[in-house]
Amino acid sequence: MVGPSRPQIVLFGSSIVQMSFGHGGWGAILSEVYARKADIILRGYYGWNSTRALEVVDQVFPKDAEVQPSLVVVYFGGNDSMAPHPSGLGPHVPLSEYVDNMKKIAIHLQSLSDTTRIIFLSCPPVDEAKLRQNQSPYLSEVIRTNELCKTYSDACVELCQELGLQVVDLFSTLQKADDWETVCFTDGIHLSAQGSKLVAAEILRVIKEAEWTPSLHWKSMPTEFSEDSPYDLVSADGKNTVNSSEWTYFWEEQWD
């Protein structure tokens, strides 16, 4: 543990979470936006479904931890929505079981503290044509369709409305981009830099608009060690120093 203690924002999910710090990912974007304000903690597990997540949620988020997260961003659903394999093996989870799993995960997270906030990300669409081209010789056929993705996405959104949780509808969000199949993915499933920008923008919008006390919007949070110092950069007139604590000019995109 290093100090000073900061609020924790935990990203909990499958490969779209695990890979969120690569390819200009949305996790990396959040880490940049919340620099010196909150710690972005990654708990991503490639290939996982909601059943596996439910099995370990109390280990990832123990109720007796000294410090509880301020925000948990949760994504499971893409693997759940895959068509079932004839063997009964694989990541597919029936829709009703998926909804029940996600509800139990939400209830556990809500029990951590009165100030632990939750955002669910729903199942995104896929580029079906690219998926067919990218079938691995080492794996059974992966059947993921946008019809299935939408069904699971809608179910996640409906559950969040029922529980009063914040949700980002990824199925709709990614399709707002022109040529979304081409620009939003690296392989038909996982997010490109452009896809991640759309996800990050929606997460930041939800955080900004949420009526949470305290606010978790980055502009509302204190910046660590932001006091003026004689060791700051010297101004052009040579008479004063310039505090750079809040500078964001170096961001690739100016986030709200």
Question: What pLDDT is stored for residue 197 in this prediction?
Answer: 98
In this predicted model, what pLDDT tens digit does every residue of 210-228 receive, in sequence order?
Answer: 999 999 999 999 999 999 9
Question: What pLDDT is stored for residue 105 in this prediction?
Answer: 98
Q: Where are the domains of the chain?
A: 8-242
Question: What pLDDT is stored for residue 143 in this prediction?
Answer: 87
12 φ, ψ to 5°? -125, 115
For residue 70, indicate whether it is catalytic: no
User: Which residue type, as a one-letter code, is found at position 256?
Assistant: D
Marked catalytic residue, from 122, 190, 196, 217: 190
Sign of CA dihedral 216, 219, 220, 224: positive
Question: What pLDDT is stored for residue 49 in this prediction?
Answer: 98
Helix, coil or strand: residue 252: coil
User: In the beta sheet, which residues pair with residue 167?
Assistant: 120
For residue 220, indicate whether it is catalytic: no
Whole-structure pTM value: 0.96
The CATH number of 8-242, from 1.20.1740.10, 3.40.50.410, 3.70.10.10, 3.40.50.1110, is 3.40.50.1110
In this predicted model, what pLDDT tens digit does every residue of 184-194 receive, in sequence order?
Answer: 999 999 999 99
DSSP state of 93: -
Marked catalytic residue, from 5, 58, 140, 187: 187
Question: What pLDDT is stored for residue 132 in this prediction?
Answer: 85
- C-alpha angle 166-172-177 in degrees, rounded to nearest 5: 125
In terms of Cα–Cα distance, which of 153, 5, 162 is closest to 80?
Answer: 153
Question: What pLDDT is stored for residue 1 in this prediction?
Answer: 72
Q: Measured between alpha carbons, how far is 195 from 184 in angstroms, rounded to an integer?
A: 4
Low-confidence ranges of the chain (pLDDT < 50): none
Question: What pLDDT is stored for residue 149 in this prediction?
Answer: 98
Question: What pLDDT is stored for residue 133 in this prediction?
Answer: 86
Token representation of residue 141:
């056929």
Marked catalytic residue, from 14, 15, 31, 50: 14
For residue 14, indicate whether it is catalytic: yes
Helix, coil or strand: residue 90: coil
Cα 130 to the chain's mean position, in Å? 24
